[in-house]
A = this chain, B = another copy of it.
């Protein structure tokens, strides 16, 4: 019989398949078919992207030429556009607004075939630093209330370009999912006067069964109430609600780079290079970013099973491999 588990943050229920859990080899393998050559994110093709916003470059090299290690450009097909004031209005019972926001692409490295696990630690650190710098820069724009960093890896996770990249979207409102998480965590805090995520971290460290890997400043674990099979969260051990706080300490950046790299490597080996999404959940910007009740974290969600009518209709999720077993497989991967 399966087991029902209730998420302590937002109250979502999931069904965990405990009787006949799926093993890593049971999932359909992702075929990474990519279209064409002439990748716009490769060295020498800098003119194919909109002009760069920022880059980590060799001294004396010019913008939009080779010589960069990490490069940030506007998304050529942005979901939202940077110009204009926010114009909210009603239409009968409906509400609408023009689509103001920023949509940027962080090109992780010049290497078309090197993903995060293939990079040097220092190269991953540079990506994290640039992500924080872009966030700090964009939050000066008072129109923005939430900045999301996310990555789509593999076509079935929604990636449309093969060259390794991360995306950033700045939004003029706090979106529903982080708003619910923050609200749920606030209710817990008001009741217990403790951060829910710090409590989660304590319990995970104690039970150990769901921990994948940890180092001095970070822990990676398969959440008790995973939404996706083989989901992994990376969480800072020191309470902090805003992820850019990590940029203040080079030791913390190093640990974050190491653990992110190792988790992605373990997922790749265990699940034969699965497609995945990751997102960074953090506190909103342009209001108090330091929240006692919220705790930033990375959610890594492999694309192993289909989200179907049941999930869309209920908000329930079915997890085919219990998180305890997923963590065991990931811990035992030979990296």
CA distance A296 to B329 in the complex (A): 43
Min C-beta distance of A76 to chain B, whole Å: 12
Copy total for this chain? 2
CB pair A2 B93 closer than 8 Å: no
Cβ proximity bits A141-176 to B, threshold 8 Å, 1 near / 0 not: 000001010111001111100000001010111011
Interface contact B99-A2, CB-CB below 8 Å: yes
Inter-subunit contact A309/B1 (CB<8 Å): no
Cβ-defined contact, B94 with A11, below 8 A: no
Give per-residue flags for A10-34: 1 if the beta carbon is below 8 A from chain B beta carbons, else 0.
Answer: 1111010000000000000000000
Interface size class, chain A: 35 or more
Q: What is the chain B residue whose CB lies nearest that of A157?
A: B308
- Describe A's contact surface by its main secondary structure: mixed
A196 touches B93 (CB 8 A): yes
| Residues in B neighbouring A315, C-beta threshold 8 A | 175-177, 180
Using A12-B176, A99-B1 as known contacts, say yes or no to A310 and B79 having CB atoms under 8 A apart.
Answer: yes
* Complex alpha-carbon distance, A71 and B83, angstroms: 57
Q: Which of A125-133, A256-264, A273-281 contacts B (4 or more CB under 8 A)?
A: A273-281
| Contact residues, A33-49 vs B (CB, 8 A) | none
Known: A277-B309, A278-B309. 13 other contacts (CB 8 A): A1-B81, A1-B98, A5-B96, A150-B309, A150-B313, A152-B308, A157-B306, A158-B308, A167-B309, A178-B314, A277-B308, A280-B313, A299-B312
